[in-house]
């Protein structure tokens, strides 16, 4: 069918070309990504509409569709009663994530969920995008600049930008989506797995160069979840753990080589600790023992309970060190485990202020917020960082809460929760599910923006696609 072929071309453009498109030495990278996404998506949606009209297609709706429609309705109402209508519609006062962009995301969901097909053909364009950005990131990390990205940039900004995605946090967000997708596909062995494995390894090297703690933590959490889902499928688990081990060794080489070669980025304490040779050896031993435990004992049946207990103990420990145990000196861990105004590059200050704004708002703002991309209007009088106007809360969910209200945040979480529950409960589409989960986790300290957020909604539409018949956990060959 022609529209299926058009969908494949669109996915090729988004997976292979979108991450690599660049203009003017990254100075307008957000606008470049935004216009590329809008251009190719608008053409694709027009093709879908014309084809559906020509064939007189009648859509049926399911529960997930109503979650998406409810979210878009809340966004529309929030924009209609916004404190800055133009900013909410266009997103110009923030990161271009206004109502118009979300309407495009919604249209993309409905188009992909009904006309796209998830199969092994997605692997090659995904690896092109990941591989291209990762190779360039490794070169940029060690001050090799083949595209001349840094030639027009102030040296003070070198540490914050890398590859063709731009900001290191946005690049990390992109990898949090693509690395789990490729790694799980490699583990499941459902065609082009070697290519997927190469792409995942390159993505892990790119993450080492991006040097962002949120991306590393999100991938670590997804690693633990993936082990649980693959625990009773020993071939898939063995392949996955072998890939992770190779990736950790590669990341350790990149991080530790920074001691000997000049580089732009200041390597974070977390990366230096995790990828210290001694700690690396301990992690590799743990992976090996974990596999033996899964293969030769009943650990797989107890894994989720053990993991849940560890999470509970971790939460209790965090509560302790932030309340009764504030007198304890945790050394370098103070910056990670103790929440305060300076936590996570002063995200703590931003979050505290954002919550105070929401708590002191009226009923309308509680329900539908002040309008998408109006965060700058809320903070410009506060002068949290001097003359710098803060246009994002650096927490997607907190920003949704204050700009689109509890209804906006609730419907947003509802539509992702619905689609993940629908697939994970049936053991289906693990690669896409874990990719989306990883992205949603790193959003706890990141921003919705044009460099990676469009790909989240591409994956969202693919996961909802009725033709997505691959990526089954309980495939016979994995037992």
pLDDT at position 346 is 85
pLDDT at position 479 is 41
Q: Cβ neighbours of residue 82 under 8 Å, at least 6 residues apart?
A: 88, 370, 371, 372, 374
What's the CA gap between 12 and 25, in Å, rounded?
Answer: 24
Under a CB-based contact definition with an 8 Å cutoff, are residues 236 and 190 in contact? no
Under a CB-based contact definition with an 8 Å cutoff, are residues 385 and 346 in contact? yes
pLDDT at position 349 is 87
SS3 content of the chain, % helix, strand, coil (to 5): 70, 0, 30
Q: Dihedrals φ, ψ of 390, to 5°?
A: -90, 120
pLDDT at position 383 is 62
What's the CA gap between 463 and 50, in Å, rounded?
Answer: 24
Question: What is the value of pTM for the model shown?
Answer: 0.94
pLDDT at position 36 is 98
- Shortest CA distance to 130 belongs to which of 175, 172, 176? 175
Q: Can you give the pLDDT of all 479 residues of the chain as single tens digits?
A: 789 999 999 999 999 999 999 999 899 999 999 999 999 999 999 999 999 999 888 888 999 999 999 999 999 999 999 999 999 999 998 999 999 999 999 999 999 999 998 889 999 999 999 999 999 999 999 999 999 999 889 888 898 999 999 999 999 999 999 999 999 999 998 788 999 999 999 999 999 999 999 999 999 999 999 999 998 899 999 999 999 999 999 999 999 998 888 888 778 889 999 999 999 999 999 999 999 999 888 888 899 999 999 999 999 999 999 999 888 888 878 888 999 888 888 899 899 989 999 999 999 999 999 999 999 888 876 666 666 778 899 999 999 999 999 999 999 999 999 999 989 888 788 999 999 999 999 999 999 999 999 999 999 999 998 533 333 344 444 44
pLDDT at position 470 is 33
Q: Cβ neighbours of residue 79 under 8 Å, at least 6 residues apart?
A: 85, 88, 89, 98, 99, 371, 372
Q: How far is CA 157 from CA 113, 152, 208, 216, 450, in A?
A: 40, 11, 19, 22, 20
pLDDT at position 381 is 62
pLDDT at position 267 is 84
pLDDT at position 443 is 97
């Amino acid at each position: 069918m022609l529209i299926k072929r058009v969908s494949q071309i669109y996915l090729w453009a988004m997976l292979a070309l979108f991450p690599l498109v660049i203009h003017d030495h990254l100075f307008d990278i957000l606008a470049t990504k935004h216009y590329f996404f809008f251009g190719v998506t608008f053409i694709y949606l027009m093709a879908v509409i014309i084809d559906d009209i020509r064939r007189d297609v009648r859509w049926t709706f399911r529960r997930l569709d109503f979650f998406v429609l409810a979210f878009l309705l809340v966004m529309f109402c929030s924009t209609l009663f916004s404190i800055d209508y133009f900013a909410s519609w266009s997103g110009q006062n923030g990161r271009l994530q206004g109502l118009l962009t979300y309407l495009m995301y919604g249209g993309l969901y409905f188009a992909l969920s009904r006309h796209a097909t998830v199969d092994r053909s997605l692997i090659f364009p995904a690896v092109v995008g990941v591989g291209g950005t990762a190779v360039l990131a490794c070169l940029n990390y060690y001050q090799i600049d083949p595209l001349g990205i840094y030639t027009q940039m102030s040296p003070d900004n070198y540490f914050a930008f890398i590859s063709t995605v731009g900001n290191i946090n946005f690049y990390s967000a992109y990898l949090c989506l693509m690395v789990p997708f490729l790694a799980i596909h490699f583990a499941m062995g459902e065609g082009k797995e070697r290519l997927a494995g190469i792409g995942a390894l390159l993505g892990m090297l790119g993450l080492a160069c991006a040097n962002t703690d949120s991306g590393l933590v999100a991938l670590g959490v997804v690693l633990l979840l993936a082990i649980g889902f693959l625990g009773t499928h020993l071939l898939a688990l063995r392949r996955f753990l072998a890939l992770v081990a190779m990736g950790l060794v590669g990341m350790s080489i990149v991080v530790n080589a920074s001691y000997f070669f000049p580089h732009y980025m200041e390597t974070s304490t977390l990366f230096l600790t995790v990828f210290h040779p001694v700690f690396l050896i301990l992690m590799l031993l743990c992976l090996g023992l974990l596999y033996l435990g899964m293969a030769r004992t009943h650990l797989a049946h107890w894994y989720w309970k053990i993991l849940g207990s560890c999470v509970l103990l971790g939460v209790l420990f965090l509560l302790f060190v932030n309340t009764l145990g504030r007198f304890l000196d945790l050394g370098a861990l103070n910056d990670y485990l103790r929440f305060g105004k300076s936590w996570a590059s002063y995200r703590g200050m931003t979050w505290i202020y954002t919550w105070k704004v929401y708590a002191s708002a009226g009923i309308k703002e509680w329900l539908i917020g002040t309008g998408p991309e109006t965060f700058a209007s809320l903070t410009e009088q506060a002068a949290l960082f001097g003359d710098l106007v803060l246009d994002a809360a650096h927490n997607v969910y907190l920003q949704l809460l204050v700009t689109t209200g509890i209804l906006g945040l609730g419907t947003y979480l509802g539509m992702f929760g619905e689609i993940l529950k629908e697939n994970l409960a049936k053991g289906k589409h693990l690669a896409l599910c874990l990719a989306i989960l990883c992205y949603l986790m790193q959003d706890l300290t990141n921003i919705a923006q044009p460099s990676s957020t469009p790909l989240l909604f591409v994956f969202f539409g693919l996961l909802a696609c009725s033709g997505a018949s691959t990526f089954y956990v309980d495939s016979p060959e994995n037992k």
